[in-house]
Structures are given as C-alpha cells and as structure tokens.
Amino acid sequence: MRHLIDPMDLSVEEINHLLDLADDIILHKEKYQEVCKHKKLATLFFEPSTRTRLSFEAAMMELGGNVLGFSSANSSSASKGESVSDTVRVVSGYADIIAMRHPKEGAPYAAARKLSVPIINAGDGGHNHPTQTLTDLMTIRREKGKLDNLTIGMCGDLKFGRTVHSLIKAMSRYENINFIMISPEELRLPDYIIKDVFEKKNIKYKEVRTMEEVMPELDILYMTRVQKERFFNEEDYVLDTIAQYPNDPTLGKLTFMIDLKNQQKDLNVADFNGVGKSKLTMSLGYKDGNYPSESQVPIYTSQDVTAKYAVKLRLKGELLVSGDEWMIDYVYAQLASLFQPYPPANFPEVFMCKGGMKLGTFDSFRRTCTFDITYDRSDLSFSQLYFNLFINLAGQKRENRVRLRIDKESYFELYEQSEEM
C-alpha cells in the first residue's frame, strides 16, 4: 500500500504514466466510468477548500465511486478535541481511500502511520500539495509539449505557497530546468528549499523583486496569491530553522533561548533589566549540542540579594518538526537563579523545571508539541535570573524544518515585593 504525501513519492516515470493516463481519460471518458464502482473516497478537509475538495469529489463520481467526509474541522469531532490520528483511524473503517487537507505541516504524514487505507495529501499548511502539482505538470505539458528545457518564474508568496514548494520539487527532476523566484523579501522562498533542491542538485536559480525585469526570460510564469491565512499574528514570534547535528547521527539537540525584552512602551524602564512587566520576544541560540553564550546572559540582575521578588510567567506556543528524519525527544523550560557573583562557580539553582510529556501535548509520533507553561511564585531572592526553553530532537543528519511559535499571550512579570508582602 502506498500513500501520496509528497510529490517526490512518485518517480518521474510514474508521473509521466499518470499524465498519459489523464490524457486518455479526457479523450475516452466512457472507458473509466465504473473503474471505482462500489469504492468510497473520504474527503477530510480540516481547512476550507473549494477547488481542491470539489475536484476530488467530482473525479471520484466521474469514475463511478462515492464520496463521504467533511469540509471543515468545525463539522468534525476535531472541534471537540479528537486528534487527527484518531479521526483518520475511524474514517478508514468507512472508506477505501482518504484525501486529507490540514493547516499543519506534516499532518497527513502522521495520519498515514495509523492507516490501513491509502491517503492522499490535499495540502498540508505551507508544506506540500502533490495533487495540485500533478495538475500543474499536466497543464505545462499540454501547453508546452514537454517538461524539460524550461525557465519557470515563480511569483508571489513563495514562503508559504505549498503549490510552489511542490512544483519546484517535481520539476527539479527534469532536465535543464531553470527557476526565477519573484517575491518581496518578506515572502521569499524558504532557505531549506534553496538548499535541499537548488543547491543540492546544482539547479540554476535567481531571486528578483519584480516581474518586469525577467519576463523576457520566462517560458512559464507561475502566479500565487498571498497566503494570509498562514501568517501568524504579528505579535506572535515565529522561528524557522534547520535541524542539523553533524557529530552524532542518532541524537540532535536544538536549544532555543527566550530573550526577554520589554515591549510595554508605557513603562519607565528602557529594557527588561529592571522591574516590571514584559511581553516575550525571542532569539535563537543553536549549536552542536552546546549551550550558546546567549544562554548565559541573565534576564535580570538584582543589586540587592536580600530583596524578595515575585515572578509570573506564561509561555504558550507550538513546536513543529517537518519531514521524517527527526522527532521531538523532549522539551522543557528552565527558570534559574544565581546567588553568587557572575560568572557562576557551579550550576545555578533551578527552581522551575518541567520536562517531556508533562510540559506539553505531543501528537502520536512526537512531531508536534503544543505547550502552555505557567509559573507564579513569590519570596524569591537572587543576584541574577536566567530563563531558557530547551528543545531536544532525536534523529538523523538529514536536515528538516523546525518551526517554533511563541504565542502573543505569553508574558513575563517580575515585581520587587515590599516588606508588607
């Protein structure tokens, strides 16, 4: 049994065969009117869709089959907290094949691990859209008569455009393909696509900001809309990076440091090296299993080690690992105090440390972690205060995408207590 999660799941020969078959279906519809008779397709669309969902349903009916499913997460048990894995496992008992769309990257892959029937990825977040790619390849071949020796311009939202990512992957396997990427800096193609596809396969490409300067060079112009539904709230902090641990092929470690800065303009202090309330901003610290120097910088230094402080913290967010080479080993947050002069002679005392499953909710294959940490404690004394979020990944050397999002509802409060308290 095979699934279609990524366009690379199909060889070039298989793609060409599918395109030939599609051409034949167009010419001889009557031959295929009952090839799916008594078969059922389940369309599980956790994200809104018009063209993709109706295309799947119309195609199954044209082939003599039946369709069941839902068109939004709100009309399924997902709205009551049921996991994706549980939903697809139940639905697989009703259907012969599943087409699934989900706003989270990697969701169809995770679902496939639980299934006894094939699943087709109908779009997962800003990741892949393999069936749209097949349609695009068919259009290119019908218009140009070939899939090689072409210069393709990709224009628009190249950062979140999953159809762009999928088409680049598929076209990269044909001979003499050149790419021109047209987008504003904020929506440029992710670095992992550039590195894993263009640079790895020595494919010619260039990045420009306007169509006018490259139009004469193009054989094909692929236009995409801005994927506003994939933008995180402007007050959220989103970190995209690559999981890579070159020394040990079986264990990788990513360490994310939360750098606390004061974003409250109405407060007197210019930064958070003072007492007050702050929203969280984040900077990345990441090295080959070693804690970066940034993690040794205190977020608050007390001039009076006898003073008493109250600390309130909320850290809400989500960690996502795409691809199939890495898994989340554990996640924990640490708020540590130091009582002796800096630098420390020994490891700081840890007075808040949560790890693994207690910290957040992992999916069945530990590829996502949703966390909401709260901390409220008073009567604390220290000379310096540190805060870190540690994320350990277990996996192979192959690079995969890692996304960490800190929700806008996160905050950090530090108050000096009066003697009356």
One domain for residues 208 and 237: no
The predicted structure's pLDDT at residue 380: 77
Lowest mean pLDDT among 125-129, 131-135, 340-344: 340-344
68, 210, 236 from 334: Cα distances, Å: 47, 46, 21
Nearest to 309 by CA among 341, 259, 275: 275
User: Which domain covers residue 24, as residue numbers?
Assistant: 7-130
pLDDT tops 80 at residue 168: yes
91 within domain boundaries: yes
Task: Give bridge partners of residue 101 from the DSSP assignment.
Answer: 45
CA angle 148, 149, 155 (to 5 degrees): 90
Using DSSP, state whether 32 is helix, strand or coil. helix
One domain for residues 86 and 159: no
**Parallel, antiparallel, or unpaired: how do β-strands 252-257 and 220-223 relate?**
unpaired
Give CA–CA dist 390/246, Å, rounded.
19
The predicted structure's pLDDT at residue 367: 63
pLDDT in tens, 85-120: 888 889 999 999 999 998 877 788 888 877 889 999
Q: Is the previous residue joined to 184 through a cis bond, with omega within 30 degrees of 0?
A: no
124 within domain boundaries: yes
The maximal CA–CA distance of the chain, rounded, in angstroms, is 87
pLDDT in tens, 190-237: 888 898 899 999 999 999 989 998 999 999 999 998 766 555 444 444
One domain for residues 270 and 359: yes
21 within domain boundaries: yes
- As a whole number, mean pLDDT of residues 135-146 equals 96
Render 294-342 in DSSP notation, one character per residue: GGGS-SEE-S-TT--EEEEEEEEEEEEE-SSSEEEEEEEEEEEEE-SSS
Domain count, the chain: 3
One domain for residues 285 and 176: no
Query: Counting beta carbons within 10 angstroms of the beta carbon of residue 245, is it exposed (0 to 12), middle (13 to 18) or buried (19 or more)?
Result: buried
One domain for residues 244 and 192: no
Nearest to 122 by CA among 158, 98, 88, 140: 98
Nearest to 329 by CA among 400, 282, 390: 390
One domain for residues 282 and 159: no
One domain for residues 263 and 354: yes
Check which CATH number belongs to the domain holding 117 and give it. 3.40.50.1370
160 within domain boundaries: yes
Of 85, 102, 130, the residue at which a domain comes to its end is: 130
Helix ranges (H only) for 6-115 are 12-27, 51-62, 84-91, 107-112
The predicted structure's pLDDT at residue 1: 86
The predicted structure's pLDDT at residue 315: 77
Check which CATH number belongs to the domain holding 386 and give it. 2.60.120.750
Task: Indicate if the alpha-carbon torsion angle 277, 282, 283, 286 is positive or negative.
Answer: positive
Of 223, 241, 268, the residue at which a domain comes to its end is: 223
Higher pLDDT pick, 358 / 55: 55
One domain for residues 273 and 397: yes
278 within domain boundaries: yes
The predicted structure's pLDDT at residue 334: 67
List the catalytic residues. 51-52, 80, 101, 129
The predicted structure's pLDDT at residue 90: 92
One domain for residues 218 and 251: no
311 within domain boundaries: yes
One domain for residues 29 and 157: no
Task: Give bridge partners of residue 332 from the DSSP assignment.
Answer: 355, 390
pLDDT tops 80 at residue 66: yes
pLDDT tops 90 at residue 148: yes
pLDDT tops 80 at residue 50: yes
334 within domain boundaries: yes
One domain for residues 14 and 158: no
59 within domain boundaries: yes
pLDDT in tens, 67-78: 999 988 777 887
pLDDT in tens, 232-288: 444 444 555 555 444 444 444 555 555 544 343 333 333 444 445 555 555 444 444
One domain for residues 119 and 218: no
Model pTM score: 0.59
The predicted structure's pLDDT at residue 350: 44
**Parallel, antiparallel, or unpaired: how do β-strands 384-395 and 300-301 relate?**
antiparallel
User: Which residues, including other chains, have CB under 8 Å from residue 317's CB and lie 6 or more apart?
Assistant: 370, 371, 404, 405, 406, 407, 410
